[in-house]
Structure 1
Amino acid sequence: MKYTITYGSSQEVGLIGKGRFTEKKPFLITMFGRGVKHIVTCFVAIMLCLNIARAQEEDFKVMLNFKVNSYELDTAYGRNAEELKKFDHFVQTLKNDTLTRITRIELSGAASPEGSFIKNQRLAHRRILCLEKLIRSKVSINDTIICYNDSLIHWNKLKAMVDYSFPEQYKDTLQSVILSRMDQLDNMYNDSIAMNVIKRMYKGKVYQVLVNHYLPDMRNACAVFLLLHKPQPKVVEGILQPTIVEVKPQPAETDTLIHNEVDSIPQSGVVMSTVESWQPKWYIKTNAVALAFAISNVAAELDVANHWSVTLPVYYSAWNYFSHKVKFRTLAIQPEVRYWFSEESDGLFAGAHLGLAYYNFATGGDYRTQDHSRETPAWGGGLSIGYRLPLSRNSRWKMEFSVGAGVYPAKYDKFINGHNGLLAYTDRKTYVGLDQLNISIAYTFDTFRKGGKR
């Protein structure tokens, strides 16, 4: 009997009598080969999943620029013509691709930091509305997939632009101001402070460079479309697939469909407004000052024209203040016409009003005062001035402050201030003085339903 073993080889060779060893691979090499195979298989599967996911989700972005203090779209301004052409191509592609749908639209607006915070907030919001109007004119969308972001001022974007290309002799000083502003983003009024500092730098040279080359890019509205691609159905070889003919119904006249190409938009530099300059709204309000005196009240206001609105408050009280000798019972109305110095019925306003009030009041003294025979209310009119500002990000909730004065001729009876007190005398007097003091909370409603196909 003899046998030979060769080390380092993948075979064992030997003879035992007339028998022969079978060839086999060593244990460690076999296990290593299987491990590599599993690792490669997992890696390939992960890459395929990533590719599939990447193929199913995409996004598309369009950004429009606006002139200073403007929210109207000028198709020839900046890169707007190029962006509109790109958006039109996207719409046509979306129309022809039945496997792709929009899952979310993120709309954001921005303004450059000149001017007050409230003015910049309005500009940013109106620029969003302008872009939304353009999108809805070309694509049928559901309100539920739209997300709004009034980002106002992109200080981080300004910092990046300054880092990239601002003149070196001014860069460090300007960056210190921008970084200081970014550290205090919670204080909205610091924008004007920062801009005043920048205006004084190097006798206004830094500010002029910003105005000419950097700030125009900050006045924009942007839309990001998130898209989902459905996978193409697989056809199994050897199985005859039936031919499916898709019959598309004719769209109703009221449906919002994909509209004409943007090439039909004039490119001659003519300013085209894609959002109405004035949209009427109406408001429901209550006066906190009257509520503090236990006088129930409600008011309705309606925008009737650009810069003009009418409001009608009603006040009612029919109870005493803890004692029959102290009371202020009234039924009063005070219709008012208001002129607003802004187009959106916000900010400063002036008004002219009429007033009519039935009254019965006593302050704890010897007499109670009441309108004569309960048939001669005080009536007159006056002027007012006030201010309204938004409370919520969507500008639905608002707070209003106003004060007014007027003239009211009155004929009234004086009664002994007691239970069933006797009439003492009747008198006439003309009241001249304060007749309106409002700290009101208001909620805004649209006068028509805005939105795409639901």
Structure 2
Amino acid sequence: MKTLLTTFALGCALSCAAAGEARAADPSPGIGSVLLTEAVEGNQLVRKYLVRNTGDEGYVLFYRIDATQLASDYADNGLDLSDLDAFVGSLPNDELRSIRRIVVTGYASPDGPQRLNEQLARERAEDVVAYLDNKYELSDAYGIAVEARIASWDDVREVVAASDTPQREAVLRVLDSDRSDAAKQAALRRQAAVWRFLSSDVLPALRRVDLRIDYGQDRIVEVRTRIARPTPRPTPAPEPRKRCCCAVVDDGSTGLLVEMPEPGADF
């Protein structure tokens, strides 16, 4: 029984150690994944995940007023382009991602003529698509949907309500009124301090392009990790058995009866 328990314990220790080592470097597919099963097959730890369609990849690039050409030195575009390049460049070698579609949406701020804003929004989106196609031919690989939108004065109101805009209450009354968009803009422009704040702190964030990557339906992904088993230690050689000069012949309740060797016996 002792031999059986020792073998079983050793097997559990090796299995748990291997599983613990693999778990420490768990190659999970990432956010949105759920571990379904985990089993050992030969020298591999096999995990199956449910990878959910999270659609959580998104990038934002900003444009200067009236501009339709992307500037890497404007706002945080340099950092965002670096992140975007790293992501797009990894797609061909990433078997865990299943992209359903890519949507590029260009925006324009609500100030200015509506027809010009529509043109700005669309040309900004097309500018980003051209950047991706020239560098990665992304349209051929995945297809890209292009959209254009003009941000509304309601979008401006949300920012103003949470800010320290000069004369904030007066600005909110203008934005909440039944006036036309042109009349709202004219009223805001007449307040010099208010318009300076909007022009520098609010409106620039609305001149942008949003890039959204939508993943496919939920799917099951199998991840295999090789188990590095520990090298077994060599079994030490048994010590030579010592010869005994006496033997127990009876250990009854009355005491030990020991057989002593005869005088002159050789041991």
- Give me the TM-score of the superposition, normalised by structure 1: 0.36
Partner of 1:162: 160
Pick one of 214, 237, 240 that aligns with 1:226: 214
Structure 1 stretches of 4+ with a deviation exceeding 6 A read none
Stretches of structure 1 lacking an aligned partner (at least 5 in a row):
1-46, 185-189, 236-454
- When residues 194 and 143 of structure 1 are mapped into structure 2, their CA distance, relative to the original with a 3 A threshold, is farther
Write the deviation string for residues 166-192 of structure 1: whole angstroms up to 9, x where unpaired.
Answer: 33x5111212222336xx8xxxxx433
Within a 5 Å distance, the mapping from 1:9-408 to structure 2 comes to: 55-137=52-134, 138-142=136-140, 145-167=143-165, 169-180=166-177, 190-201=180-191, 204-228=192-216, 230-233=219-222
1: CA distance, partners of 2:50 / 2:58? 20
- When residues 209 and 57 of structure 1 are mapped into structure 2, their CA distance, relative to the original with a 3 A threshold, is closer
Give the partner amino acid of 1:127: R
CA contact (8 A) 1:99 1:231 kept: no
Stretches of structure 2 lacking an aligned partner (at least 5 in a row):
1-33, 37-48, 225-267
Write the deviation string for residues 191-232 of structure 1: whole angstroms up to 9, x where unpaired.
Answer: 33221110113xx11001111111111111111111237532
Name whichever structure is richer in strand by fraction.
Answer: 1
RMSD value, Cα:
2.9
Name whichever structure is richer in helix by fraction.
Answer: 2
- Per-residue deviation, 1:154: 3.8
Q: Percent identity?
A: 22
- Per-residue deviation, 1:84: 0.2
2: CA distance, partners of 1:216 / 1:53? 40
Give the partner amino acid of 1:70: A
Write the deviation string for residues 19-39 of structure 1: whole angstroms up to 9, x where unpaired.
Answer: xxxxxxxxxxxxxxxxxxxxx
What is the DSSP-based 3-state SS (H/G/I as helix, E as strand, rest coil) of the residue aligned with 1:98?
coil
Within a 5 Å distance, the mapping from 1:437-448 to structure 2 comes to: none
Count of residue pairs the alignment pairs up: 179
Give the partner amino acid of 2:190: R
- Give me the TM-score of the superposition, normalised by structure 2: 0.58
CA contact (8 A) 2:103 2:212 kept: yes
2: CA distance, partners of 1:163 / 1:221? 24
CA contact (8 A) 1:64 1:222 kept: yes
- When residues 234 and 199 of structure 1 are mapped into structure 2, their CA distance, relative to the original with a 3 A threshold, is closer
- When residues 158 and 53 of structure 1 are mapped into structure 2, their CA distance, relative to the original with a 3 A threshold, is farther
